[in-house]
Structure 1
């Protein structure tokens, strides 16, 4: 037994944080107190590991997220299923792709809480969030961890006293797997607790049942069923080790971020709304940043501005954003690696913008001419690969830390006719995409330096779930790589982020085209936006301007023209 007789006991968190100097706090109070106690702990300078769910509303979750950003402290929410060995292994199997795509995924979670904990705070939905927030949240969170944000949710539940004892939710993914999750806490005590999942894949079925031994079994299309090796211990232990690693400053995989936990709250609120209204609820591609304000939108798409377009320091960018009435930023990370990089990063952390994406460029790139960028662009040049690799891996860490969902970059010209060189670049992209995927973000390749068909062929060859596209229509014109509106249809399954930029075709072959303000070039705003609507694009529109004497004015023009649609 552990002797706790010398441990000071407090009944008032305010007194605790005023008297004690704490490195970290584990918060396991009733759910309705999570936000208040977490914010107090963060403001007192402590790192926080808070039990799931994050809070009972997105508004409370945002308070926690903002407090962590302001204090510069780690906030980890205890979504332990992301660390549970069988679930970790299942995600590895899906990500590896050896068994092909997931056709369907079913998750089930049952307990007897409603019968065994009558009369305590668990039974009061105003304090616990009820079964939906306390039990079902595990699977809601893992669904978005495994498959990303669904397009909509449709939930049916056994409603009682404002809560629900049982729920079944369908998560809709366009062109993706059929995903459902069932949860209930009205099981009999003799049944007890059980968690189950079944993943039906093209080449195997993966089954987990906490009541069976072994708990996890893979049934391949050919060969005998087998139980893959999994880590020892349970999710509780692994999430605590992860939290300690963050505090120590160790390089830890990005398994869970406060933004992930906030997204889970948004999904839970949508499921509750769906049950109440008896219909599916659309999940918009919300960019959940540090500040989480209501973003300026056009046709439902959040508007963002590329920070490098403004050609000033972060405080200058902040002033320009205020004048433009835009809060969302596509942040340049290249300045972090320059001489005054520490000051730049400190300012970015202080300003704590919500980010639509982060972008990394390289110092060796030469955009003087098409020929110069062909030989120096992106991660292709062998002489610069070690430094490029180091920069991208660091940029991935920063993208996660700053709360951006994507890191974008120009990969460079991939010369398919040189098979050895092309394979070398594909291997590099796979390495970087693996790192991004492990950290829970997307690595987006910017259009322009190859045709839409060539880029699609590359992505189909790699088949990496973390890889996507940052679609820049002007680049396709500037590089002479085809019609951008037509390219949207070709690349639609991978488009995750958009650069709003316009251009005119080069007067002579082999030369650059000319960048012009949005709406003055050949992209064609109406056709472009209609094409995005047609393919169901749900991300941000980030306005980029890399030419002109008054770029802030040109960005303002773009905003006005977009708002007319």
Structure 2
């Protein structure tokens, strides 16, 4: 049984607390948050948890075996390092850090400590994305030539101090949201040689951004990632993809009721997903708990999380410089 110390009391902490209620081998026994809502949060989502207003105090005093960090990006480094120094397994929401240097420090800390560590790149657990990778790896659309993803929403407004709107804290849409697709596409295709990005930006009291990124992969595959925090408030969050090979194509659009569409080759079909499928956040955390229990390495390694940050930072730098940037240049 893993005894979880949950750090945070916002949107993602709520999502994770709800997921832990579905996992037999885990229980949230402590909650640390500097927010005024920690008592109401714990009452609703972890009624038996001890409450703390300082995460490091919780790590020292509470009977926890692992910590789950669901706090703003700038806090990730000190919290993960603190967990590693105490020998506590740790799960941390993405992105690992706002900077390459901070990301490297986290990876070094968890590797040196030998703890079980995993980052929340949850798109790898969404059934439509799992299905696409399965079909591509099975050769159903032949050799990949181009991959395209979209991820659109209004600017995030649920943070208590609007930290998302501060690019120095959040990194904007490329580091906070497009990083999901950067991680997934690297998992699907392989290493990224360089990226070229353009970003439109405007301010209406919140940070609005719309970014388009071209990725050139080491094997020659070309990727297109479009990400937006520029839609009107109340617009549903949407995602889509198109993966084209020399024998067919896979398509998905969250606005379409038909799940994954397969075309070309010997078939032209829809591949529905079960309405009974569990939350990808639950699946993700189940995997983390299983690894903490068994000592196995998580599917998402510390270096995977680091490379996703580097791709995102390269896209930010490319957008600012107006020229292609290699992820290997970031922080060099």
Higher relative contact order (CA 8 A, sep 6+): 2
Rate the CA distance shift 1:218–1:14 in 2: closer, same or farther, 3 A. same
Shift of residue 222, structure 1, vs aligned partner = 3.5
Rate the CA distance shift 1:54–1:154 in 2: closer, same or farther, 3 A. same
Rate the CA distance shift 1:12–1:243 in 2: closer, same or farther, 3 A. same
2:279 matches 1:237? no
1:87-107, Cα deviation, whole Å (9 max, x unpaired): 111111111113211121110
The alignment partner of 1:108 has SS state of: strand
Q: Partner of 1:107 in structure 2?
A: 149
- Structure 1-normalised TM-score? 0.47
The alignment partner of 2:224 has SS state of: strand
Mapped contact 1:168–1:182 kept (Cα < 8 A): yes
Shift of residue 118, structure 1, vs aligned partner = 9.3
The alignment partner of 1:226 has SS state of: strand
Mapped contact 1:32–1:126 kept (Cα < 8 A): no
Q: Partner of 1:23 in structure 2?
A: 65
The alignment partner of 2:97 has SS state of: coil
2:179 matches 1:120? no
Q: What are the within-5 Å matches in structure 2 for residues 344-493 of structure 1?
A: none
Alignment partners' CA distance in 2, 1:15 and 1:43 = 13
2:109 matches 1:67? yes
Rate the CA distance shift 1:248–1:179 in 2: closer, same or farther, 3 A. same
Q: Partner of 1:169 in structure 2?
A: 213
2:259 matches 1:220? no
More deviation, 219-228/205-214: 219-228
Mapped contact 2:260–2:271 kept (Cα < 8 A): yes
Shift of residue 217, structure 1, vs aligned partner = 1.7
Greater gyration radius: 1
Shift of residue 62, structure 1, vs aligned partner = 1.6
Shift of residue 6, structure 1, vs aligned partner = 4.2
Shift of residue 277, structure 1, vs aligned partner = 0.4
Alignment partners' CA distance in 2, 1:50 and 1:216 = 30
Alignment partners' CA distance in 2, 1:184 and 1:62 = 27
Shift of residue 117, structure 1, vs aligned partner = 6.1
Shift of residue 214, structure 1, vs aligned partner = 2.4
In the alignment of these two chains, the number of paired residues is 287
Rate the CA distance shift 1:21–1:4 in 2: closer, same or farther, 3 A. closer
1:123-177, Cα deviation, whole Å (9 max, x unpaired): 222222221211111111112111111211000001357x761110000135522
Mapped contact 1:77–1:258 kept (Cα < 8 A): yes
CA RMSD of aligned residues (A): 2.7
Q: Partner of 1:277 in structure 2?
A: 321
- Structure 2-normalised TM-score? 0.79
Q: Partner of 2:251 in structure 1?
A: 207
1:357-394, Cα deviation, whole Å (9 max, x unpaired): xxxxxxxxxxxxxxxxxxxxxxxxxxxxxxxxxxxxxx
Alignment partners' CA distance in 1, 2:100 and 2:218 = 25
Gap regions ≥5 residues in structure 1: 287-291, 295-565
The alignment partner of 1:281 has SS state of: coil
Q: Partner of 1:460 in structure 2?
A: none
Alignment partners' CA distance in 1, 2:251 and 2:229 = 22
Q: What are the within-5 Å matches in structure 2 for residues 250-399 of structure 1?
A: 255-284=299-328
Q: Partner of 1:143 in structure 2?
A: 185
The alignment partner of 1:113 has SS state of: coil
Mapped contact 2:116–2:295 kept (Cα < 8 A): no
Alignment partners' CA distance in 1, 2:154 and 2:87 = 38
Rate the CA distance shift 1:164–1:269 in 2: closer, same or farther, 3 A. farther
Rate the CA distance shift 1:63–1:115 in 2: closer, same or farther, 3 A. closer
Structure showing the higher strand proportion among its residues = 2
Rate the CA distance shift 1:148–1:22 in 2: closer, same or farther, 3 A. same
Gap regions ≥5 residues in structure 2: 1-42
Mapped contact 1:50–1:77 kept (Cα < 8 A): yes
Residue in structure 1 matching 2:172, options 126, 130, 133: 130
Alignment partners' CA distance in 2, 1:117 and 1:51 = 15
The alignment partner of 1:280 has SS state of: coil
Alignment partners' CA distance in 2, 1:205 and 1:4 = 44
Mapped contact 1:274–1:280 kept (Cα < 8 A): yes
Alignment partners' CA distance in 2, 1:183 and 1:43 = 36
1:290-329, Cα deviation, whole Å (9 max, x unpaired): xx9x8xxxxxxxxxxxxxxxxxxxxxxxxxxxxxxxxxxx
Shift of residue 190, structure 1, vs aligned partner = 4.0
Q: Partner of 2:132 in structure 1?
A: 90
